[in-house]
């Protein structure tokens, strides 16, 4: 919840008797209008970075995390290049003196704990794992920033994209397994599942009890998905997980029925997740045609 204290709050001006203006305001003029909401906002989470960069102009952003400048991590990396970045440390918070700090509910625990103890303004934003939750967190952050109208416009754009996807679903069934991570497969309750369903695919792990399940090669072959979806980082990072994901038998059977998705972009539920569903559908349909 939002704290009541403010970092670096300004002292009130002495004012001119009877003028109602601070002493620094010339006579005969009026103070410049200030946009409602916090004016110097800091983000400590990769997911809140995207929300902040979407909702506020650069001049009202104190900093976002350094992850946000990487195109593989953030949809808003061009905007992130226009603002300072941080590493999520307490020292940076105290130095930047933000009037609001955005953080994830599972990120930077030390910084969040100190902010609470000092009663400094903090908004903890839970992760979104589906489009209803994306609407909720977008409205939560937009309201805290005094940008409700901007938030509703972003949601309306997302919903329009989702409606277009729903109206043009592929006629054929496309069963997909997000293969990788040592055999771990995201099921129901994950952002991957939500994006895949919006794209018109069927997640073979969605019927499992947990958000993540684990298949070995034999189980995967028995499930017989139409397409394998590989997290982008798996093919770039050597290791045991990569070895399993790139098992020779799997590569042979699914040589032309594999797609790659940007794993970091699927970890945060934001309004652009609808655009990710559009891109995923195009990849699925191409793979179903044999990669032609």
Task: Indicate if 204 and 224 belong to the same structural domain.
Answer: yes
Task: Indicate if 263 and 210 belong to the same structural domain.
Answer: yes
Task: Indicate if 240 and 141 belong to the same structural domain.
Answer: no
pLDDT tens string 58-74: 999 999 999 999 988 88
Is 5 part of any domain? no
Task: Indicate if 50 and 146 belong to the same structural domain.
Answer: yes
Q: Of 163, 198, 231, which one is at a domain's C-terminal end?
A: 163
Q: Which of 4-18, 72-86, 178-192, 248-262 has the lowest mean pLDDT?
A: 4-18
In the chain, % of residues over pLDDT 90? 54
Task: Determine the average pLDDT of the residues in 44-62.
Answer: 96
Q: Which of 99-113, 132-146, 177-191 has the lowest mean pLDDT?
A: 177-191
Residue 277: name the closest of 201, 216, 223, 211 by CA: 201
Is 60 part of any domain? yes
Is 156 part of any domain? yes
Q: Quickly state the pLDDT bin for 242 (edges 50, 70, 90).
A: low
Is 234 part of any domain? yes
Task: Indicate if 115 and 184 belong to the same structural domain.
Answer: no
Task: Indicate if 81 and 191 belong to the same structural domain.
Answer: no
Task: Indicate if 140 and 180 belong to the same structural domain.
Answer: no
Is 230 part of any domain? yes
> Looking at the predicted structure, is the pLDDT value of residue 16 above 90?
no
Comparing 165 with 23, which gets the higher pLDDT? 165
Task: Determine the average pLDDT of the residues in 155-164.
Answer: 98
Q: What is the CATH number of the domain that holds 91?
A: 3.40.50.1980
pLDDT tens string 94-116: 999 999 999 999 888 988 998 99
Q: Of 163, 188, 221, which one is at a domain's C-terminal end?
A: 163
Task: Indicate if 156 and 223 belong to the same structural domain.
Answer: no
Is 112 part of any domain? yes
Q: What is the pLDDT of residue 25?
A: 35
Spatial separation of the C-alpha atoms in residues 291 and 29, rounded to whole Å: 66
Task: Indicate if 128 and 190 belong to the same structural domain.
Answer: no
What is the tally of structural domains in the chain?
2
Task: Indicate if 66 and 126 belong to the same structural domain.
Answer: yes
What domain range includes position 184? Answer: 175-288
Q: Of 111, 138, 163, which one is at a domain's C-terminal end?
A: 163
For the chain, give the mean pLDDT: 82
Task: Determine the average pLDDT of the residues in 63-87.
Answer: 93
Q: Quickly state the pLDDT bin for 235 (edges 50, 70, 90).
A: low
Q: Quickly state the pLDDT bin for 278 (edges 50, 70, 90).
A: very high
Task: Indicate if 58 and 89 belong to the same structural domain.
Answer: yes
Q: How many CB atoms lie within 10 A of CB 83?
A: 21
**0.85 surpassed by pTM:** no
> Looking at the predicted structure, is the pLDDT value of residue 138 above 60?
yes
Is 268 part of any domain? yes
Is 31 part of any domain? no
Task: Indicate if 279 and 255 belong to the same structural domain.
Answer: yes
């Amino acid at each position: 919840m939002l704290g009541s204290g403010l970092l670096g709050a300004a002292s009130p001006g002495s004012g001119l008797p009877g003028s109602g203006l601070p002493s620094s305001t010339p006579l005969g003029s009026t103070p410049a209008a200030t946009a409602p909401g916090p004016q110097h906002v800091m983000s400590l989470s990769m997911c809140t970075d995207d929300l902040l960069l979407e909702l506020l102009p650069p001049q009202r952003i104190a900093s976002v995390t350094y992850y946000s400048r990487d195109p593989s991590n953030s949809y808003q990396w061009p905007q992130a290049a226009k603002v300072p970045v941080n590493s999520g440390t307490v020292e940076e918070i105290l130095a930047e003196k933000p009037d609001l700090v955005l953080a994830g509910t599972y990120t930077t625990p030390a910084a969040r704990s100190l902010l609470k103890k000092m009663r400094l303004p903090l908004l903890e934003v839970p992760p979104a794992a589906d489009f209803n939750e994306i609407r909720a967190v977008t409205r939560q952050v937009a309201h805290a920033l005094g940008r409700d109208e901007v938030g509703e416009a972003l949601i309306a754009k997302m919903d329009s994209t989702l409606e277009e996807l729903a109206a043009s679903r592929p006629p054929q069934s496309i069963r997909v397994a997000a293969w990788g991570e040592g055999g771990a497969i995201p099921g129901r309750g994950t952002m991957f599942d939500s994006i895949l369903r919006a794209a018109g695919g069927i997640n073979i792990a969605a019927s499992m009890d947990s958000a993540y399940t684990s298949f070995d090669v034999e189980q995967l072959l028995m499930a017989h998905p139409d397409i394998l979806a590989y997290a982008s980082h798996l093919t770039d990072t050597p290791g045991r997980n990569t070895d399993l994901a790139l098992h020779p038998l799997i590569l042979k059977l699914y040589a032309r029925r594999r797609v790659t998705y940007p794993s970091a972009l699927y970890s945060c539920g934001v309004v652009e997740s609808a655009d990710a569903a559009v891109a995923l559908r195009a990849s699925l349909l191409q793979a179903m045609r044999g990669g032609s």
